[in-house]
Structure 1
Amino acid sequence: MDRDRPTGEIGAPTRVVVVGAGFAGFTALRRLERLLARRGAEGDIELVLVSPQDYMLYTPLLPEVASGVLQPRSVAVPLRPTLPGTTVVPGWATAVDVAGRTVTVDPGDADGHVVHVPWDRLVLVPGSVTRQFAVPGVEAVAHGVKTVNEALFLRDHLLAQLDRADALPDTAEGRAEREGRLTVVAVGAGYTSTELVGQLQRWLHAIASRWERIRPADVRWLLLDVSHTVLPELGPVLGAVATQVLRRRGVDVRLGTTVASATDRAVVLTDGTTVPTRTLIWGAGVVASPLVATVGAPTVRGRLVVDAQLRVDGLDHVWAAGDAAAVPDLTKDDGAVMPPTAQHAQRQGVVLADNVAASLGLGHPRRYAHRDLGLVADLGGRDAVANPLGIPLTGLPAKVVTRGYHLLAVPGAGNRVRLAVDWALGALLAPHTVRLAGVRPDDALIPAAQHTAIYDTAGSS
């Protein structure tokens, strides 16, 4: 592919560039490939995907990767075999030039070289990054769970802390260090931190025989949030159930409280408490990719303003969806926008494909209107909460619904089989616990793992 060809060249196919291989982008390209094949238009339209990875990551199951229940490849859907009609440009999109109709892509090469990918139609679905606040020390010590590297690092890190704590001498100094190594602080009582704490806490109980002197009850878990509800997306009743489950297991759930400052040895909470810890997990929500700020289009809380057809406000032939877009919720009359969930992103991908195709004379544009079918949260073991079609479920029924939902939602038969096998092996065999030490600590910090720092100089090339 000639990445630097001018757009609009006579005889050249119309180029559709999709930025991001998350739920919306992946779904849009799969549907576009089918639409073009059905119309026999493959030679007239060129599909291009800009993505730093060669896979679509099924992020809702990352807590199970962190706890070792699932293998990383089970939640990674390979792009090239599943999108055979799409050219994949590897790298991070760092800037959008609307006037010049190009996307700047940083392949991550040591020489700092970038490429400029021209487009005739542009779909912006770069996803989101972990929301960080100006809390002293957090950027230097906190870890998110948005990528495979973060999930794998967190698993190895926790094992390392417990291994070292188990070997400490029974002295005053040893006991003080042991307390910090055996304390896990997680910020954010939404899906990320709540599921992660639930999964990891259950996992450590299952592998307790690994250590000679440490018991599961010795590990201190703190789940913090400035709000007064756990899992607010599921409503107060199921949120209360999740809170009860975690507290029954010994998790210290502190609502109305968060971290005021952090070091690599302790955190200070907003209530003045100092908590010794070597593990700070940051899951206090998400924000749109920093790429959005380079577009120069109106935003709402950092998300691109789009209409019901997912067209970016004020721009021709540019669409956006998923976590990067403030999509109007047509099922409500209060001007609300859709929440940034995988469920909405997947369905928005279908509408994106139809509307891009319609702009090329293939079909008619559609508006996005979809009611939530319900949400699910896996707390580890047999514990889960779910509200499919508005029906509240807890315990084993919720667990069955949760896993069934993920099996249906993850793309690709191969990945579904791998998920089923991993879950079956987890039920039949003892957990396999080894530290692979494959991710450097600095590479697992949020700015490095999620590549947010590259946008500081976006477009400077």
Structure 2
Amino acid sequence: MGSSDPGQTNVVRLGPPEPQKGRKNVTRPRILVVGAGFAGVECVRRLERKLGADEADVTLVTPFAYQLYLPLLPQVASGVLTPQSIAVSLRRSKKYRTRIIPGGAIGVDLKAKVCVIRTITDEIVDEPFDYIVLAPGSVTRTFDIPGLTDNAFGMKTLAEAAYIRDHVIAQLDLADASHDEAERAARLQFVVVGGGYAGTETAACLQKLTHAAVKRYPRIDPALIKWHLIDIAPKLMPELGDKLGRTAQNILTKRGIDISLGTSIAKAGPEEVTFTDGRVIPTRTLIWTAGVVASPLISTLGAETLRGRLVVGADMKMPGQDGVFALGDSAAVPDEAKGEEGAICPPTAQHAMRQGKHVADNVIATLRGGATTPYTHKDLGLVVDLGGTDAVSKPLGIELRGLPAQFAARGYHWAALRTNVAKVRVATNWTLNALAGDDFVRTGFQARRAAKLKDFEYTNAYLTPEQVRAHVDGTERQE
């Protein structure tokens, strides 16, 4: 998805697919699903299974024709898994009938029932709908920190994970080749911001990679490699509870990872990072994983939000709107299972997957004139893979450490993968890594151009509510 001015590109209004030969030209209800994350894909698959062929046309908008299994991104960054192992193709099966529009939704006009889409060819198209399911997911949460988006790496996309792996190995190569002691030391220091699951697993997995790789660099003193994990919160992964959180912290500390809590970044430069406690760390690697926020698409609606997430009812229907549903990371879905007033579901994969199936049922019920039902799901627990045999997990409230926790963590991830092909690839990668160890191949596929946080998520591509309305009105007048 590009970021060019919508006024300077061709505008096309898309309609229902052409009827097949021999069939009557009957206009069916149009269901548009935005986003191919856990929520969007589960919704589409359930719609395909439960809707009759003539009941509705289903369309999916996504920049990439694959579903990304985000929880395993740190293992791609560390080389334990190959990128294609966790990218499940949406076009693999021949039996699916959903039409895929390759592009990104950049605005929605709820009154006109039109979604504005920028295709991967940078063309602006208008997609009318009768029902819309908004599951655009989230983007990396950043703050107004000088130099952050220009100098930090993210860990939210497949390209970022693959790029970080190349970058980290490149730092070892460059440090080995350098004759400047200060430069060598700087290249061997790595900073990860964010003490949640993504940041903790990223630091843990990449530290194991560099620890194993440095043995192949006889000119590098292993003591020079230093990993820093920092977070503004007072505890590491507080959702795990005090005991497991301390266990995880002790595991990482014993590995040599320096953990600083109650600390964040004051300034990020190309060759150094300044912490809020005044420390200055010379480094060429800053990885930012300090949380996520709802997709900017939500702000184009001009609707009520809660902490940036679209306010919806327990049935995931947008109040006051006919046929508009939202779920996943971008929606403030009430957490009925907690029984607490104002509680909303956390932005986790297990909630998104279950919400996707439930919202599909509610869309079908609405389409058929039935009643929607509230979403309720009790959290199954948390799993954290720290690499190797290290893990901490809390499935169904049971605290696990070491190999049992690792078995639970990998077992949960393996079971959650959507296709048998993906399961075989991941299991094979895990087995090969356990038997043969890490490899330290640097592909160099992006070596010509540095890419940082600002280059991957295209957060500047979205329209304002006023721009959406003006665009749709202009298109209608042209017609």
Instruction: Identify the TM-score tier after normalising by the shorter chain.
Output: over 0.9
Q: Whole-Å Cα distance in 2 between the matches of residues 268 and 161 of structure 1?
A: 20
1:100 aligned residue: 112
1:422 aligned residue: 429
1:33 aligns with one of 40, 48, 60:
48
2:399 aligns with one of 392, 396, 406:
392
Equivalent pair of 1:186/1:283 in contact (CA under 8 Å): yes
1:81 aligned residue: 92
2:8 aligned residue: none
String of CA shifts for 1:340-381, please: whole Å, max 9, x gaps.
000100010111110001011176522111111101011111
Equivalent pair of 1:56/1:79 in contact (CA under 8 Å): yes
TM-superposed CA distance for 1:438, in Å, is 1.8
1:118 aligned residue: 128
| Residue type at the aligned position of 2:424 | V
String of CA shifts for 1:45-76, please: whole Å, max 9, x gaps.
00100000010000000000000000111101
1:241 aligns with one of 229, 234, 247:
247
| Residue type at the aligned position of 1:15 | R
TM-score, normalized by length of structure 1?
0.94
2:476 aligned residue: none
2:301 aligns with one of 295, 299, 319:
295
Q: Whole-Å Cα distance in 2 between the matches of residues 48 and 215 of structure 1?
A: 55
Q: Whole-Å Cα distance in 2 between the matches of residues 55 and 184 of structure 1?
A: 31
TM-superposed CA distance for 1:265, in Å, is 0.5
Q: Whole-Å Cα distance in 1 between the matches of residues 412 and 276 of structure 2?
A: 37
1:4 aligned residue: 14
1:179 aligned residue: 185
1:91 aligned residue: 103
Q: Does 1:55 align with 2:61?
A: no
TM-superposed CA distance for 1:4, in Å, is 2.0
Equivalent pair of 2:172/2:214 in contact (CA under 8 Å): no
More moved, 303-312 vs 100-109: 100-109
Q: Does 1:144 align with 2:154?
A: yes
Q: Whole-Å Cα distance in 2 between the matches of residues 366 and 436 of structure 1?
A: 49
Equivalent pair of 2:150/2:452 in contact (CA under 8 Å): yes
The answer for unaligned runs of 5 or more in structure 1 is: none
The answer for unaligned runs of 5 or more in structure 2 is: 1-11, 18-24, 472-479
Q: Does 1:350 align with 2:361?
A: no
2:54 aligns with one of 32, 43, 53:
43
Equivalent pair of 1:447/1:453 in contact (CA under 8 Å): no
Equivalent pair of 1:152/1:439 in contact (CA under 8 Å): no
Q: Does 1:20 align with 2:35?
A: yes
SS of residue paired to 1:160: helix
Count matched residues.
449
TM-score, normalized by length of structure 2?
0.90
| Residue type at the aligned position of 2:326 | A
Q: Whole-Å Cα distance in 1 between the matches of residues 129 and 463 of structure 2?
A: 24
TM-superposed CA distance for 1:215, in Å, is 4.2
Change (3 A) 1:3 1:273: same
Q: Whole-Å Cα distance in 2 between the matches of residues 424 and 370 of structure 1?
A: 33
1:207 aligned residue: 213
SS of residue paired to 1:56: strand
| Residue type at the aligned position of 1:289 | S
Equivalent pair of 1:292/1:324 in contact (CA under 8 Å): yes
| Residue type at the aligned position of 2:410 | R
